[in-house]
Amino acid sequence: MPVTRDARPRRYLMCPPTYFTVAYEINPWMHQDVPTDTELAVRQWEELKKTYDELGHEVELIEPIPGLPDMVYAANGAVMGDGVVYSAKFTYPQRQPEGPAYEKWFADAGFPTVTATEINEGEGDILTVGELVFAGTGFRTSLASHLELQEAIGKPVISMHLVDPRFYHLDTAMMVLSDDDIAYYPEAFSDGSRRVLERLFPDALIATEADAEVLGLNGVSDGKNVIHNPRATALAAALAERGYNPIGIDTSELLKGGGGAKCCTLEIRA
C-alpha cells in the first residue's frame, strides 16, 4: 500500500522570464545556435506559477532585469535557512549581477541576509532535507562556501561531490520529496557522496539515466504533489507508487538554458 502523503503550503520566489534567451554558453544544455522562443518560455513559466497557485502555495515575484536572461532561474539567487538568507555569488560573470539583485529583494522584504564571500549558486547547489542541508560542489559551488553557509544558517551542511557535467548543479541530480525522502541519480555523484546518500536514505527513489537526462530530478515537491518534467515517465510512475501525486509541467523552452521547475523556484523558508 502506498504511504499517505501530506502537502504543506509553501512560499516561493519566482522571476518571470521576460528577457529569457540563450545569449552565452555556461553549461552543457546551452547552445546559442539553437533558437529560443521567449513567448513560449513565458507561457510555460506562467503555467508553472498557476499550478503553484492552484495547489495553495504563495508565490512572490522579483522583477526581471534586462541583460540578465538567466534571472528566471530563481533557485540560484540565494538559499534560506530558518529565516536567514545566504546570498549567491555566481561563478560566471554573466550571472554575477543576479546575486545582489536577489539579496536586495530579501533585504527589502525584511529578511536578515548574510552576504556570501565564497562562490555558491544558491538552491541550485544547496538543498534542505528536514534538518539537514546538502551542498553540491565540483562545478559551480566552492567547498569553502559550505562552511560559510553552515555558519550563516546554523544547520548541518553535508558536502556532495558532483562528477558528471550534465548535472552541474545539485538540483539536477537530486530532488527533495519530503523532510525524510529524496530521489537522486547515483552516477552524478562521486563514490563517497553516493555512499553518504545510501547511508542516510537507504529507501530513496533511484532515478533512471533517461529521466535524469531530461532533468526529471529538477522538480519541486510540497510533500505530496511533485512538479516534474513530463518526459520523466519512469520517475512519475515511481513517485505514484510511493503515494506522491506527480504533476508534469512542460518547461522544455527553459530547459534550453539548463533549468526546469526547481531552477525556477526558490523556497522562502521563513
User: And the C-alpha cell for 125?
Assistant: 547547489
The 3-state secondary structure of 80-128 reads EECCEEEECECCCCCCCCHHHHHHHHHHHCCCCEECCCCCECHHHCEEE
Please state whether 32 falls in left (phi above 0), alpha (psi between -120 and 50) or beta. alpha
Per-residue b or e along 67-79, where b marks 16 or more CB atoms closer than 10 Å to that residue's CB: ebbbbbbbbbbbb
Establish if 79 belongs to a structural domain.
yes
Residue 195: strand, helix, or coil: helix
Q: Is 169 a catalytic site residue?
A: yes
Tell me how far apart the alpha carbons of residues 73 and 92 are, in angstroms, rounded to a whole number: 14
Which pLDDT score is estimated for 63? 98
Name the pTM for this structure: 0.97
Q: Is 31 a catalytic site residue?
A: no
Q: Which amino acid is at 228?
A: H
CATH assignment at residue 43: 3.75.10.10
pLDDT classification of 238: cutoffs 50, 70, 90: very high
Task: Assess contact for 176 and 128: CB atoms under 8 A.
Answer: yes
Tell me how far apart the alpha carbons of residues 19 and 125 are, in angstroms, rounded to a whole number: 24
pLDDT for residue 227 is more than 90: yes
Listed in sequence order, the residues at least 6 apart from 39 whose beta carbon sits closer than 8 Å to its beta carbon are: none
CA 168 from centroid of its chain's CA atoms? 12
Establish if 74 belongs to a structural domain.
yes
Which pLDDT score is estimated for 270? 84
pLDDT classification of 7: cutoffs 50, 70, 90: very high
pLDDT for residue 38 is more than 90: yes
Which pLDDT score is estimated for 3? 86
Establish if 3 belongs to a structural domain.
no
The domain containing residue 138 runs over which residues? 11-267
173-213 pLDDT, tens per residue?
Answer: 999 999 999 999 999 999 999 999 999 999 999 999 999 99
What's the mean pLDDT in 17-21?
98
Give how many domains the chain has, as a whole number: 1
Establish if 2 belongs to a structural domain.
no
pLDDT classification of 1: cutoffs 50, 70, 90: low
Which pLDDT score is estimated for 2? 66
Establish if 167 belongs to a structural domain.
yes
Tell me how far apart the alpha carbons of residues 232 and 229 are, in angstroms, rounded to a whole number: 6
Catalytic residue among 15, 57, 146, 169: 169
Task: Assess contact for 165 and 139: CB atoms under 8 A.
Answer: yes
pLDDT, the chain, mean: 97
Catalytic residue among 15, 57, 146, 263: 263
pLDDT for residue 70 is more than 90: yes
Establish if 43 belongs to a structural domain.
yes
For the chain, what is the radius of gyration of the CA atoms?
Answer: 17
Q: pLDDT exceeding 70 applies to what percent of the chain?
A: 99
CA 41 from centroid of its chain's CA atoms? 18
Establish if 4 belongs to a structural domain.
no
Establish if 153 belongs to a structural domain.
yes
